[in-house]
Chains A and B, each alone.
Chain A
Amino acid sequence: QAVVTQEPSLTVSPGGTVTLTCASSTGAVTSGYFPHWFQQKPGQAPRALIYSTSNKQSWTPARFSGSLLGGKAALTLSGVQPEDEAEYYCLLYYVDLQSWVFGGGTKLTVL
C-alpha cells in the first residue's frame, strides 16, 4: 500500500502565503496521480478545492491554487484569510492498484 505524506502542521499569518505539499512513497507525483485537495473544518464534511492537479471547483476561492512542485503535489494559499484555518487533505490515484490514497492531513493555523 502506497503512503502519502503531508506536513502535519503549518502556521501562517493573515495575508501571508503558504504552500502545503503531498508526496508519494512510490516516487515523484505527476499529473497521472490526479492530485486532489480538500479542506475540512471541525464537525464538517470535507469540501473539495482542487482536482486533477490544478483545476478549481466552481466554489474554490481564487487565493487557492494547485500545482506540481519538486516531485510533489502542492496547494498554495495566497493572501490567507482567518477562515482558511482548517485541516487540508490531499488525495492521489494509483492507476496500477486502481486505488485512491489520502494523505494524513495538514493542520493549517492562521495566527
Chain B
Amino acid sequence: QVQLVQSGAEVKKPGASVKVSCKASGYTFSDYYIHWVRQAPGQGLEWMGCVYPNSGATYYAQKFQGRVTMTRDTSISTAYMDLSRLISDDTAVYYCAREMGAANLKNHDYWGQGTLVTVSS
C-alpha cells in the first residue's frame, strides 16, 4: 500500500535551517511529484512547492523562493524539504503529498502524517 512517512518533530532557533524528509513506499517513487504543504497553528493549508523525482525538477511558490530547497534521493525513495533562515512564523506542521501529474489529469492523493517544526529562541 502507498505510504509517505515523514521524519520526526524538530525544534529550531530563529535563523537556523530545517530539513524534513518524506520516505515513499508502495509505488514507483520516480513517477509521482512530491509536494510540500504547511499549516501554521489554527491556520489553513499553504502550498510551498514540489519536486519531480524522475528529473529533480522543482517548482516553488513565490513566497518561498530563495529560502526553500526541495530535493530527492531516488535510491532510497525519499524526498526532502530544506527551509532556511527560519522565523517564528515558520512554526507549522509540514506535510508531503504525492501527485500524479499528467498533462490532462492531476491527482494529489496520498499524504504524509505531518512533521511539526517549532521555531523558538
Contact = CB atoms under 8 A, between A and B. Distances in A.
Q: Identify whether the interface residues of B are mostly helix, strand, loop, or mixed.
A: strand
B27 to A, nearest CB: 14
Contact of B108 (A36, A97, A103): A36
Interface in B93-121: 95, 97, 105-114
A38 B39 CA distance: 14
A52 B106 contact: yes
Contacts of B45: 38, 40, 46, 89, 91, 102, 105
B95 A55 contact: no
Contact of A48 (B59, B109, B113): B109
Interface in B58-92: 59, 61-63
B73 to A, nearest CB: 23
Contacts of A46: 37, 45, 95, 97, 111
Interface residues of B, number: 23
Interface residues of A, number: 26
Contacts of A93: 106
Contact of A100 (B35, B111, B113): B35
Contacts of B26: none
B44 A48 contact: no
Which 8 pairs of residues, A with B, have the shortest CB-CB distance? A51-B107, A34-B106, A102-B45, A100-B47, A105-B44, A45-B111, A98-B59, A48-B109
Given A51-B109, A55-B105, A89-B44, 16 more contacts: A1-B62, A1-B63, A34-B106, A36-B107, A38-B108, A45-B114, A46-B37, A51-B106, A51-B107, A52-B106, A87-B44, A91-B45, A100-B35, A100-B47, A100-B50, A102-B45
Interface of B: 35, 37, 44-47, 50, 59, 61-63, 95, 97, 105-114
